[in-house]
Structure 1
Amino acid sequence: MPNANNWQGDVLRDLRGTPPPQHARSHGPAQEQHPAQQQQQPQRQEPVGAGAQPPTRNSAASPGPAAPPPRTHRPARSPDSRPVVDSALTGTARRPQRGESAAARIARAVRRIVSSSTAREVAELTRTAEQIQQPVTTGRQIAVTSIRGGAGKTTVAALLGTAYAHYRHDPVLLVEADPALGSLPLRLGAESLRWTTADLADIVEPQMSLLDVTGYLVQLPDNAWLLPGSQGRIGAMLDTTAYERVMVALRRYFGVTVVDCETLPAEVARVALSAAQARVLAVPATLDGITSTYAVLQWMQGLPRHMIAGTVVALTSTTPRPGIDVEASAEKLRSTGAAVHVLPHDRHLAAGGELRTELLARPTRLAAARLAAEVFQLSQKRR
C-alpha cells in the first residue's frame, strides 16, 4: 500500500511513468488498454454515440434484451435491487425549497427588465452551450474530487453531469467511484440500485452494444445514466483494477463521463485523476479550504504542465455570507495556473437531497454551465 502521508509522490510517479518503490502497489491509468483488451476490440468501432438510440426506460434491475455470453468470472447470481433511501426515512425529508427567496427572484427580474443585461446573458449562455455541445472522437472522462469531506464534491459532480446531459446529444455517464457511503445516487434522484461498478467490471465486454450496457445502469433524464459505487452498504470496496477495467470498457459508449471520486489521497481517486482528461477540485469557500487548496495547487505546479492546466477549482459558497473574500480568494488560487469558478450559495443545494435543476437559483445555473463548459474545453485539449 502506498504511504498515505506521501500520496503526492505516488501521483507524481504515476504521471511521469516512473516505477514505484517495491513496497508500493503499481497501478496505471485507466485510459490505456492492455494488449489483451486491444485484441478483443472489434475491427470496426462506431464513433461515440453515433447511431445509438437511447433505450426505452428500463429498470436498473433488468439487463438489456441481448444478454452477453457467460464468462467464468461472472457473479454466480445477480444482486438484489435495493432502495436508495430506506422506507423508514422517506417521510423525514421536507419539501425542497428554491435556491433563492421570492424577494431575490423579484429583484432580479426587475433588474433584468430595466437594464440591458438580458441580451448579454442570453448571448453568453448561447456561447456556453456551443462549447459544451462540441463533438468528441473519443469519450471524455472528467474526475471530480476534493481534499476533504463536506466540500461539495458530489454536488459538483451532479451539476456537471446534469449540465452535459442537458446540452449534449450523445450519452452521458456518471460514475460513482466513492463506494463507501457515496450520495451521488441520492443527489441524482435514483430510486433503487442494483448493479455497481465492481459488478460491471466482471460483466462488460467489447462486443456489447450500448443497449446491452445501459441495461445494467440506472437511467436518468436527458440521455444520462448512472453507475453506482455501492448499494449503500458499509464496507463496500472498489479496487483500482476493477475501476480501470470498467472505465476502459465504457469509454467508447459515452461522449462524456463524470467520475465522483473519493477524497484524496484515496488510491482509486489518484488513478482517476491521472487517467482523466480534466479534473475538478471541489473546495469550500472557507479560510481552511482555501489555505489547503492553495498548498496543493502549489505542489501541482511541479508536476507535468497538463496536470494543473487541466484542473479547475470549483469554489463553493456553503453559507450566504462566507467568512472570506471569495473573489480575492479565487484570484489567489488562479495565480497558480489553475482555473477557478465560484458557485454561489444556493438554498436548494445546501439542503441536500435530490438535485432539481428547476429549483436552482438562476446564478447557480449560469455558474454551473460556465464551469461545465470550461472543464469540457480543457478535456478536449488532452487527447
Structure 2
Amino acid sequence: MTEQDQAAPADEITHDNLMRRSAERPRRGWRKALYEATGGRYNPGISEAEAERNALLRRIRRQLPGAHRIAVTSIKGGVGKTTVTACLGLTLAEHRGDRVVALDANPDAGTLADRLTGETSITVRQMLEKIDDIDSLTEMSRFTSLAGRLQVLASDQDPAMSEAFNRDEYTRITTVLSRFCNILLTDSGTGLVHSAMEGTLELADSMVVVGAPTVDGASRAGKTLDWLAAHGHREHAENAVVVLSHDRSSEEVDAEKIHDHFAQRCRAVLSVPADPHLAAGGRIDLDLLRESTREAFLRIAATIADDFPAR
C-alpha cells in the first residue's frame, strides 16, 4: 500500500454514500398531484419554494441538548406580542418531535391561553401551590391545556394575584417546566421592571422583541432594545430577533428603513404579514392562516432554532 493510499481511507459504508440519488418526493401542489396520478412512476421533483420550506423545517428540527427558554417581549402592548408567542409556539410544537410549552407571565391577566385553548380556570397560581408535588410529565400536564401539541400554562386572571407573581416564583415554575419540556416560551408582559421579568431576562436563552412597521411600533421595539442594553442585557439586545407585525402598517411609513434600522442593532429582523384570522383577536388556528403568514412563522421559528446550542 502506498503512502497516498494510507492518507486517503475508503469512504464509509453509509446509507448516504451507497444509495443512488433520486428526486425528492413532492408533497405540495401540482407536482404532488402528478406524482400520485402516475403512481410515483413520474417524479417531477420538488419546486424551489418547497425546497426552501424543507430547508426551514430542517433548521426548526435542530436537536437540543437540553431545555431552551425563549422570551417574547415588548416595552408596551398593542403590537402583537401575545399573537407572536402563540403562533411561534404552535409552529415549533407542530414541526418538532419534542415538547414545547408556552407560559403566560403577563402581570395584567394575560390572554395567551384565551388565544390558544380558551382554558383559563387552571393557572400558574395553582401550579405554584402544588409545585413540590410535581415529579412527572403527567403531574405537570395537570396544570396545562393543549393547543395541538403545544402545552399552555395560563396566567392568573385576577390582576392582583398576577402582580404577586415574582421573580422567585417564575424561576420555580420554569425550573419544573424545563425538566419535562425542551422548549419554553414566555409571553413576558409589557412591564420590563416587573419582578417576574427579572427572572425572564436572567434565564432566557433567546429573545424575541415584537414591534410594528409604524412610528410608534418601531419606537417601542427600539426602546425595548435600549432598555435591555442599559440594564445589563446588552447581549440579549444584540442577539435578539425583532419581529415586525404588519397588522398595523401605513403607506406613509418607510418600512424598509425600519427593517434596516433593526438589522444593524440585532441578530435578525423578520416580518409577519397582515392576516384577517389574527386580526380578529380570537382563537388561533394555524390552518386558518394565510400561506404567507404560516411561512413567516416558519422563518421566525427557524431563526430561533439557529440559536440552539450544538450538541
Deviation at 1:268, TM superposition (A): 1.5
- Equivalent pair of 1:174/1:257 in contact (CA under 8 Å): yes
Residues 134, 200 of structure 1: alpha-carbon distance in 2 compared, 3 angstrom cutoff: same
RMSD: 2.4
TM-score, structure 1 as length reference: 0.64
Q: Secondary structure at the match of 1:250?
A: helix
320-329 vs 338-347, which deviates more? 320-329
1:378 paired residue number: 307
Q: Distance in 1 between matches of 2:197 and 2:262?
A: 22
How far residue 380 of structure 1 moved from its aligned partner, in angstroms, is 3.0
| Matching residue within 245, 263, 269 for 1:334 | 263
Give the letter aligned to residue 128 of structure 2. Answer: A
Alpha-carbon distance in 1 for matches of 2:191, 2:263: 21
> Aligned to 2:62, what secondary structure does the other structure show?
coil
Q: TM-score, normalised by structure 2?
A: 0.78
Secondary structure of 1:193's match?
Answer: coil
Give the partner amino acid of 1:228.
Answer: A
| SS across alignment from 1:345 | coil
Which secondary structure does the structure 2 equivalent of 1:178 belong to? coil
Which residue, 225, 228, 235 being the options, matches 1:306? 235
Decide whether the 8 Å contact of 2:238 with 2:265 is kept in 1: no
Answer yes or no: is 1:235 the counterpart of 2:160: yes
What is the match of residue 146 of structure 2? 219
| Contact 2:124 2:143 (8 Å CA) reproduced | no
Aligned with 1:344 (options 273, 281, 289): 273
The answer on whether the counterparts of 1:310 and 1:379 sit within 8 Å (CA) in structure 2 is no
Please report how far the alpha carbon of residue 309 of structure 1 lies from its aligned counterpart in structure 2 after TM superposition: 3.6
Out of 358, 364, 374, the position equivalent to 2:287 is 358
Deviations for 1:110-131, whole angstroms, at most 9, x for unmatched residues? Answer: 9xxxxxxx82221111111111
How many residue pairs match? The answer is 264
Secondary structure in structure 1 of the residue aligned to 2:73: strand
Return the alpha-carbon distance in structure 2 between the equivalents of residues 272 and 196 of structure 1: 18
Contact 2:74 2:224 in 1 (8 A): no
Structure 1, unaligned runs of 5 or more: 1-108, 111-117
Which is richer in helix? 2
| Matched AA of 1:233 | D
Instruction: Show the counterpart of 2:100.
Output: 172
Provide the C-alpha distance between the structure 2 equivalents of 1:379 and 1:284, rounded to a whole number of angstroms.
26
**Which fold has the larger relative contact order, with Cα–Cα distance below 8 Å and residues 6 or more apart in sequence?**
1
- Percent identity at matched positions? 27
Q: Is the 8 A contact 2:242 2:266 kept in 1?
A: no
Flag the structure with larger Rg: 2
- Matched with 2:297 is 368
* Residues 243 and 366 (structure 1), Cα distance of their counterparts in 2 relative to 1, 3 Å cut: same
Task: Show structure 2 runs of 5+ residues with no match.
Answer: 1-28, 31-45
Give 3-state SS (helix, strand or coil) of 1:363's partner: helix
- Correspondence for 1:325 among 222, 234, 254: 254
Helix, strand or coil at the partner of 1:273: helix
**Residue-by-residue CA offset, 1:43-82 (whole Å, 9 max, x unaligned):** xxxxxxxxxxxxxxxxxxxxxxxxxxxxxxxxxxxxxxxx
Asked whether the 8 Å contact 1:313–1:340 carries over to 2, the reply is yes
